[in-house]
Amino acid sequence: MDLVSPGIGLIFWSTLFFLLLLFILGKFAWPSILTAIRARNESIKQALKAADRAKEEMKKLQADNEKIIAEAREERNAMLREAKEIKEKLIAEAREQASDEAKKIVKSARESIKSEKRAAINEMKEQMARLSVDIAEKILRKKLEDTKEQKSLVEKLISEADLN
């Protein structure tokens, strides 16, 4: 029966050691644990804020890209209108001339329009590529122009990797 019911001395010493352990943990361990938890919460909040800022920047970039695409379409339409006007003028002049000469002019005008169109499309593609690279370069240069920011970014990534 002694195994099932503990003695008064055992209860007293167990309670004393529990209270002593609780005091030591409360004095030394809990403050550092709570500090670490607060720091972790703060880093999570900052990461969420950074993600929101990145999302806003992506929205701005997307709006800028849509604006650039709309301008490119407008420019393409203007070029097509110009090409159409040139074609109509050439056809009007060709009607006045002899039929053989008219056929030659129409043929050369069509080839000219096609080559101008290809050249314009190629030039638009090159301009879009250069503009995209310039935008990306400016963003990266702005983000990484300060070595202090680079170091802090690397340290932040390392500390996040350790905490996770």
**Three-class SS of 6-55:** CCHHHHHHHHHHHHHHHHHHHHHHHHHHHHHHHHHHHHHHHHHHHHHHHH
* Res 56: pLDDT: 94
Contact between 57 and 109 under an 8 Å Cβ cutoff? The reply is no
* Res 115: pLDDT: 92
Contact between 135 and 61 under an 8 Å Cβ cutoff? The reply is yes
Contact between 30 and 21 under an 8 Å Cβ cutoff? The reply is no
Contact between 154 and 144 under an 8 Å Cβ cutoff? The reply is no
Contact between 113 and 87 under an 8 Å Cβ cutoff? The reply is yes
Neighbour-count burial of 141, counting CB atoms closer than 10 A to its CB (0-12 exposed, 13-18 middle, 19+ buried): exposed
- State how far the Cα of 64 lies from the Cα of 70, in Å rounded to an integer: 10
* Res 164: pLDDT: 46
* Res 6: pLDDT: 72
Tokens representing 152 are 């802090």
pLDDT tens for the chain, 164 residues: list them: 456 677 788 889 999 999 999 999 989 888 888 999 999 999 999 999 999 999 999 999 999 999 999 999 999 999 999 999 998 888 888 777 767 776 888 889 999 999 999 999 999 999 888 888 787 677 666 666 777 777 776 777 778 776 54
Q: How far is CA 10 from CA 3, 99, 163, in A?
A: 12, 122, 41
Q: How far is Cα of residue 92 from the mean position of the Cα atoms in its chain?
A: 52
